[in-house]
Structure 1
Amino acid sequence: MKRRIRIIFWLMAACILGINGFQAYWLYNTYELTNAQFSRTTNEALQAVVLRQQAVALRRQFAQAGYPKFRIQINGDTLVRTGPATEEDSADRVVIVPKTNSPDALDASKSGIERIIIRNHRPDTARRSRLSLGLRRHNGGKPPEVDLRQLAADYRAELRRRDTEGDFVLDTVNMLRPTAGHGPELDAPASYSLRTQPVRLLALDFDGEWQVQAAFRPPTFYILRRMGGLLTGSVLLLGLTTGCFVLMLNTILRQKKLADVKNDFINNMTHELKTPLATVSAAVEAMQHFGALNDPQKAQTYLSISRNELQRLSDLVEKVLNIAVEERQALQINPEPVRPAELVQELVQRHQLKAAKPVHFEVDVAEDGAVPLDRLHVGNVINNLIDNAIKYSREQVTIAIRGRRDETGWRLTVQDDGIGIPRSYQEAIFDRFFRVPTGDLHPVKGFGLGLYYVRQVVERHGGHIAVRSEPNRGSEFSLWLPA
């Protein structure tokens, strides 16, 4: 049975760990994908905003160059000026592209980084294009005139439109000729560690020297908010699975414990019932085969022994039946004024008369007047505690009984110097049918019902009971009853 439980435990533990591992791996992948999506969205949004702003700048420049009615087409990082508003301009097309060796290209600058291709142009096209180029060129490495505040506002709006948010810093960077305050890397605080790809300012800087870049804080909280539903569901699922595992394991262990208690109870019951039956059988056999019937005095002795043993057997059966009845019906308590000192003294005298070993009592129960108790059941409680102290002791025992009434109720302690109770069993001794395991030995007879009955009576009075014990140093039972 133990081997089977261990196998079940390890299989269930492996299952729980596997589920938790897969959940963690799935959540990690989701986190990484969301992080990558955040980076992609911030890059695409910055590119879109910069290109839109450059389109506005181009429209203004071409208007100043004599092309007020051209439309702007944005294609990747290439700005295309195409299409007339009137039928007579249908042949005009101006495109900004990277450097090529096209024979119909006109240099935009000495560096040749960018060219303007003019196809099917009218006689004044070259003049207007040169005028336009002059507006775009920059000298001395100065940054182009970019409205960063408006660009940042447009960028934030674009991020919001794409359902993305985060604190960022936006500025221009110089990719070719670093200057004071403008290098190839964005000058941002260290906490803004996530950088977007630089976006070229084609409309404002043909040399490709100046670009725009944004820096963000790590989007951890943003990602966690986006994954809130997944995280909550995963935590609930993991908690539910682990809780079911713990509950199932606890149920299995409890069932095993109940099975052990049942087997122990059956063994104890067998020993308890066999003793009176064997005694009665021996008495009957003596009267039948050893002439006890011819001796009235012997016959009377054997009959008296048989009657006592049968009465003991009847008491055992009745005790078990009473416990079964108490499962279905609550224990009935009938409080009445009782003087605890008198009740304890009466029980002590009874045990002194019938004890099978030397017993020394130290009684200190204050005369505090009457306390509302059920005399019968509370008497049985004290009797059981004294009886256990005598049974689970050595050749002689000292029992100290102390009782006091305080502001809230009445407290009684029964202390002995017996064999004690291991700590691992102290919470279980009040369970029904439980007895501290002693292997196959049964030096003390019983069913494990005494302390269970004690707890039932105390709790029905609204009180509580506790035990303190150490092996080979005795036990102390302390009960409190409301007054």
Structure 2
Amino acid sequence: MKARSVIHISIIGLLFIVLIQLGGMIYAYKAQMKETEQSVNICFWMAFTETVDDMVNNLPYPDGTRINMIHYPERLNLNRAEFNNRGMQQTAQVLRKVYKLGEFPLDKLDSILHKKLEYTSIGGDVAIELFDVNTGEILKRTNSRLHTSIVSITSEKAFTYKDKGEAVRAIVVFPFADIMRNVVILFAVTLLLLSVTVYVLVLQIKSIVRQQHNLQEQQQNFYVLAEQMRLPVGEIVSEMPLEKWDFIEEKSSVLLGMTEETLSKAKAEALYESGHKRISLRTLSIVSITGIFLLLAIWSGYLYQISYKRMEFKVQDNFEKMFYEETYYNRYLMYWSVYKDNKVVTKVTGNTPYVDRFLKNVRNNYLEKGYHLRMAGIVVYHIYNKYDVNPQLHAAYTMQDSINNNAPSPIAFSMQFADSAFALKLCDSGISVPIGVQKLKYPSKELLAHTGNAHVGIMDMTTRLLPLDKDSTECVRGIVHSPQGHIIASIWYMLLPLGITFLFICICVGIQIHIGHLQRRLKQFQKDFTYSMIHDMKSPLNSIMMGAHILMSGKLASKPEKIEKYKQLMHDECEHLLALSGRVLMLTQIERGELELHKEIIPLAPLLKDITEKYLLKATKEVRFMLKCEETCSVYADIFCLREILGNLIDNAIKYSKDEVEIILSCEEVAGSTLIKVRDNGIGIPLKEQWKIFNKFERLSANNRKSGISGFGLGLSYVLQVMKAHDGMVSVESVEGSYSEFTMRFPLN
């Protein structure tokens, strides 16, 4: 992939992440404000109820005195929360209108609301406003320095004196600047690290592209050098019988200088690539990626913790509602049906004159006329906050104490009722997870009874213990099993941008690993290429030049056997250079479409026999050939090219084998093609490298370094190109450490 494309894709990816995160932040802000508004309203009504209840319990009447009867027409079909809210507003007006209490205690309401909001992890400044509903005029405020803004939430209103239009409401202003500062800092740092990561990747990819370009340039220079070398080497060969050693030395020196020039460019580039720049870039990239992972983990953990606390509050609240319903609808109704002489849960000692008048008025004006009212008494109970709980739970404890104290026989807490009511309450709150209820002995926490799974895992959520008697020897608690899925699902809109960022970083990690692998491969490719130039071009030219210099000096005049040895060595090196040059020339012709093939029908049996005999004569280690070819088997090909590619495969078989080499040459005609196979007992080719061995300048570098085998990796590429020129194909089958078998398929004439 081009560097420009990578840059474009990276910028688009960054912009996409920025847009996703901004969209997620906006969506999260709206969703959180909506959810927080609901929580503020719940806390406000709880605080309002407790404030009114505290005002009732401070009246100068004995415990059990009814001071008010809250009521509403049954046709309105209000739920318990609505009934409670309406009743507390009625009671607030009665306290001021009938019992002549002073102003509504805004500071008390403010203090209780603060505690409720802290429990639900809702921070920020709070103010309670007393205002006129008719005119909107603010009559009094607990926090005069607080100013409303777009980040403030106003609760529902609660009447304190409806006849006068006086009501209270809560204003909660979140520390939006602090929150946004933290979010923006986190977002900016994450974006900065992402930008650094992408920038480093782009620089590394550019470096790789430049390195690949330089390698291609070196390869092209090698092509040119190999072609330019063909004629001078041919002249050296032709002058050797004439013993013109000075001419041969001069020619070889010129060729050696050309080789040194090409080689020095390759060495300079390798030296530049081995600098510290790439290492520093890689280190910077690793640091950036690690930092992003840490930030994502911290941010995800923070979001999860906040969501966990809010769910914990909902679970506790619903468990307390369940406890009230079980106490009232199960144990109290059972107590009522069996012991009818106990008419109320608490001992009502009497009514205030106002209540008596109210009941008489209701009886005369409503009940006798067929109206149906739902009513409940508000009773003075001075032991307020005995359990430090909200009024609903306080009422449940009061009923429970009355039942436990007055019932001649115990009425047991119903685990089945509690389980069903708890599950229903949670479901109404949007929480659908496995739950259970446990009855425990306190303080040993011995399990007495349970519903659902009795085991409480470290991932489970538990409520606070609620006592079933005054001494708290038996308690119940709710269990929510594995709420993590629900918690994560509830904040998906905040986790989605983090997930996309995490995916982007994983892709960057994958690219980084690929870049590292490619850099190591190119570096090794550079080393192998330089080594091959030294071994296959520079060393032969050095040998020729040194041999010519020694022969020209006359030092070996009295040693004819050494003279012949030097001549043979020089001749072999020239043949090696001519073969290399010829191979490069033919590859160039094939690539340009200039190769002319002179095809003819060639009997394979005599050709293979001739080739094997020549290799047996010059073999430097023990080689055995096995021929499996019928006399009638033939191939339609260019004889020169066929000899070259067969020789190349046999060369490889000998080079990449152990001390004892066994080569099987076989041929057969199959399905309109002639197959020629060359199989050895050599070191084999790893499966992961078999796909690349037919590419130009590709070699089994690790094996070459171990065995000292050199080469430019042109041989198999040459075989492939020649086979394509013949409209044929070549394939390999190999098992590492066992064998390699190359199959050439020629079409029949």
- On whether the aligned pair clears a TM of 0.5, the verdict is yes
Pairing 1:454–2:719 present: yes
Equivalent pair of 2:529/2:712 in contact (CA under 8 Å): no
| CA displacement at 1:42 relative to structure 2 | 1.4
Contact map agreement 1:458 1:465 (CA 8 A) in 2 = no
Q: Specify the SS of the correspondent of 1:363.
A: strand
3-state SS in 1 of match to 2:584: helix
1:245 aligns with 2:512: yes
2:312 to 23, 32, 39: 39
Among 424, 433, 442, the residue aligned to 1:157: 424
8 Å CA contact 1:402, 1:413 repeated in 2: yes
Superposed CA deviations along residues 187-230 of structure 1, whole A, max 9, x for unmatched, are 454324543224468xxx89988765323333355456557765
> How far, CA to CA, are the matches of 1:267 and 1:30 in structure 2?
62
Provide, for residues 148-198 of structure 1, a one-character-per-residue CA deviation record: whole Å limited to 9, x for no partner. 43x54443232123222222223666879x9xxx97865454324543224
Shift of 1:249: 0.6
Alignment counterpart, residue 166 of structure 1, candidates 403, 425, 433: 433
Which residue is equivalent to 2:627? 364
Q: Using the alignment, how far apart are the partners of 2:619 and 2:607 within structure 1?
A: 22
Matches for 1:38-77 after TM superposition, within 5 Å: 38-51=311-324
- For 2:636 and 2:309, the matched residues in 1 are separated by 74
CA contact (8 A) 2:678 2:741 kept: yes
Q: Is the 8 A contact 1:49 1:158 kept in 2?
A: yes
The aligned residue for residue 678 of structure 2 is 413
Matched, 1:94 2:379: yes
- CA separation in 1, counterparts of 2:470 and 2:621? 113
Gaps of 5+ in 2: 1-272, 346-354, 363-374, 387-395, 555-569
1:381 and 2:645 aligned: yes
**Structure 2 CA distance for partners of 1:463 and 1:237, relative to 1, 3 Å:** same
Q: In the superposition, relative to structure 1, how do residues 403 and 115 fare at CA in structure 2: closer, same or farther (>3 Å)?
A: closer
Q: Within 2, Cα distance between the matches of 1:469 and 1:175?
A: 70
> Structure 1 residues 344 and 360 mapped into 2: Cα distance closer, same or farther (>3 Å)?
same
Q: Which of the pair has the greater relative contact order for Cα pairs under 8 Å at 6+ separation?
A: 2
Alignment of 1:416-431 (within 5 A): 431=695
Q: Which residue of 2 aligns with 1:142?
A: 410
Residue by residue over 1:237-280, the C-alpha shift from the partner in whole angstroms, topping out at 9 and shown as x without a partner, is: 45313212211112211221332244335435752784799599
Report the counterpart of residue 127 of structure 1 in structure 2. none
Q: CA deviation at 1:142?
A: 1.4
Could you tell me which amino acid in structure 2 is paired with residue 366 of structure 1? Answer: C
Work out the CA distance in 2 between the residues paired with 1:13 and 1:319.
45
In 2: Cα distance, 1:249 partner to 1:12 partner: 12
Q: CA-to-partner distance for each residue in 1:328-380, whole Å, 9 max, x for gaps?
A: 77999999876543442243355567x48698652322328647775555543
Against the structure 1 CA distance between its residues 23 and 451, is the aligned structure 2 distance closer, same or farther, given a 3 Å change threshold?
A: same
Using the size of structure 1 for normalisation, the TM-score is 0.57
Percentage of matched positions with identical amino acids: 16
Unaligned residue ranges in structure 1 (runs of 5+): 68-81, 102-112, 117-132, 291-305
Indicate conservation of the 8 Å contact 2:586/2:595, yes or no.
no
- CA separation in 1, counterparts of 2:280 and 2:415? 71
Q: Do residues 478 (structure 1) and 741 (structure 2) align?
A: yes
3-state SS of 1:98 partner: coil
Q: Secondary structure at the match of 1:250?
A: helix
CA distance in 2, matches of 1:319, 1:192: 76
Give the structure 2 partner of residue 403 of structure 1.
666
String of CA shifts for 1:37-85, please: whole Å, max 9, x gaps: 44332111112344466677999889x9599xxxxxxxxxxxxxx9998
TM-score by length of 2: 0.40
Structure number with the higher helix fraction is 2
The answer (yes or no) to whether the contact 1:279–1:309 under 8 Å persists in 2 is no
1:254 maps to 521
State whether residues 433 and 447 of structure 1, in contact with CA within 8 Å, keep that contact through their aligned partners in structure 2: yes
CA distance in 2, matches of 1:465, 1:336: 26
- Indicate the SS of the match to 2:411: coil
Q: What is the deviation of 1:411?
A: 6.2
Residue 449 of structure 1 deviates from its aligned partner by: 1.6
1:240 partner amino acid? I
**CA-to-partner distance for each residue in 1:91-110, whole Å, 9 max, x for gaps?**
x8424563699xxxxxxxxx
Amino acid at match of 1:415: D
| Distance in structure 2 (CA, Å) of the matches to 1:388 and 1:264 | 18
Counterpart contact for 2:293–2:502, Cα < 8 Å = no
1:25 and 1:265 map into 2 onto residues whose CA distance is 52
What is the DSSP-based 3-state SS (H/G/I as helix, E as strand, rest coil) of the residue aligned with 1:164?
A: coil
Is 1:42–1:159's contact at 8 Å kept on the other side of the alignment? yes
Secondary structure, aligned partner of 1:362: strand
Whether the aligned pair in 2 keeps the contact of 1:433 and 1:449 (CA below 8 Å) is: yes
- 1:347 maps to 611
Pair 1:171–1:368, CA change in 2 (3 A): farther
CA offsets per residue over residues 20-45 of structure 1, 9 Å max, x none?
A: 45544554555555444443321111
Counterpart residue number, 2:697: 433
**Over aligned residue pairs, what C-alpha RMSD do you find?**
6.2
Give the letter for the 2:665 counterpart: R
Matched residues in 2 for 1:191 and 1:163: separation?
Answer: 24
Note if contact 2:589-2:595 (Cα within 8 Å) is conserved in structure 1.
no
- Is this contact kept in 2: 1:186–1:215, CA < 8 A? no
**Contact 2:541–2:573 at 8 Å: present in 1 too?**
no
- CA deviation vs aligned residue, 1:427-474 (integer Å, no higher than 9, x gap): 67655335668999xx9886442233235556874442255677xxxx
For the Cα contact (< 8 Å) 2:684–2:734, is it kept in 1?
A: no
Q: 1:137 to 1:451 in 2, by over 3 A?
A: same
What SS does structure 2 have at the residue aligned with 1:191?
A: coil
Is structure 2 residue 477 aligned with structure 1 residue 213?
yes
Amino acid at match of 2:719: V
Q: Evaluate the alpha carbon distance shift between residue 451 and residue 184 of structure 1 in structure 2; reply closer, same or farther with a 3 A threshold.
A: closer
C-alpha distance in 2 between matches for 1:373 and 1:21 = 66
Could you report, residue by residue, the CA deviation over 1:394-437 in whole angstroms, capped at 9, with x for unpaired residues? 9x9866333265989846234378xx799899867655335668
